[in-house]
Amino acid sequence: MKIIITGSGGLVGGTAVRYFSDLSCEIIGIDNNYRQNLFGDKASVFNDISSFSSLKNYKHLNLDIRNKDLIFKTIKEVKPDVIIHCAGQPSHEKSSSIPYEDFEINTLGTMNLLEAMRTHSPNCSFIFTSTNKVYGENPNTLYEIYETPKRYDFKEFGIDENCPIDNTIHSPFGANKLSADVIVQEYGKYYGLNTVCFRCGCITGKTHKGVEQHGFLSYLCKTFLKQQEYKIYGFKGKQVRDNIHAFDLVNAFHNYILSPRKGEFYNIGGGRENSCSILESLDIMRNISNKNIKISFEEKRKGDHICYMTDNRKFQSHYPNWKKKFSLQMIFEEQMAV
């Protein structure tokens, strides 16, 4: 099986490279390390990309997904069985200062891949790493949120795919990913191609290059291990996120590949059982390390979620063999051992 993986040096893309390499797939990775341009040297994935040189079934292409001609040329030559699209500008905050660039990367880049697939490899399965930011602030306003000593919470099982996407602030990142999300669905529903959107929240793993503007849990753990001050933006540190390990997400991709559907979309995440607030996260890290750090409080960020936990039941009903391997405790222990 030939698989093109965009963003192959990143957390999800790199995990997909290793996962499908172990299954003896032929892998073509696309990544130009643009993260370094966006977030600085600490976010560089150069070493991750270099590590794949030992894989006999991996070929790397230093391409920008915004380059339509080269993307078309690549897909025409490779004729992949699967495209796993993980490349993107991933930061909610960063997008506000680079809205047009964010659009080019997240929306236009996705369109280039889809149209190249439709033209040159229409039997391919297309997997898009979308985001829960497609719902904007609606999880804050349409669900009854209550406060406890260490977290905000809601009575619902989690946010499912019926959460509205309209009449809300998304951030340029959320709006551009939503545009790409709808386009991916359309190529499935209108053109009859095997396309799927996975609307992810907080994804984590030991190879994550978390920075302050992106990668909540990775950045928090690195800050804790370095004994640096951590800034909490709003909500008294009680804001809640659910966390899914990149391996479990890629395993969900694999389940879809084995039985693809046309134009589907799924909320995918750690669920209530893998959820934690920042205050709860600090408690877990203190228990693991017997250390502590200084924290400070800043104004909340525009369009941020107060509480987000994923309802995975739609995906699990379609793919009952999918089970998460990594618990919240396992995720923290792995991050704290980095």
Residue 62 and residue 58: Cα distance in Å, rounded? 13
Q: How confident is the model at residue 338 (pLDDT cuts 50, 70, 90)?
A: low
CATH of domain 2-336: 3.40.50.720
Which residue stretches of 210-312 are H helix? 216-225, 246-258, 278-289
The pLDDT tens digits of the residues spanning 222-275 come to: 899 999 999 999 999 999 999 999 999 999 999 999 999 999 999 999 999 999
CA 106 to chain centre: 12
> For residue 236, how many other CB atoms are within 10 A of its CB?
15
Task: Please state whether beta strands 202-204 and 240-245 pair in parallel, antiparallel, or not at all (unpaired).
Answer: parallel
233, β-bridge pairs:
298
Q: How confident is the model at residue 211 (pLDDT cuts 50, 70, 90)?
A: confident
Q: Mean pLDDT across the stretch 110-125?
A: 98
Percent with pLDDT over 70 in the chain: 99
Task: Please state whether beta strands 240-245 and 275-277 pair in parallel, antiparallel, or not at all (unpaired).
Answer: antiparallel
The predicted pLDDT at position 152 comes to: 97
Q: Mean pLDDT across the stretch 97-102?
A: 96
Considering the entire predicted model, what is its pTM?
0.95
SS3 44: coil
For residue 214, is pLDDT > 80? Answer: no
For residue 213, is pLDDT > 70? Answer: no
For the chain, the average pLDDT equals 95
Q: Tokens 């306003």: give the residue.
A: 141
The predicted pLDDT at position 218 comes to: 87
The pLDDT tens digits of the residues spanning 34-91 come to: 989 998 998 899 999 999 999 999 999 999 999 999 999 999 999 999 999 999 998 8
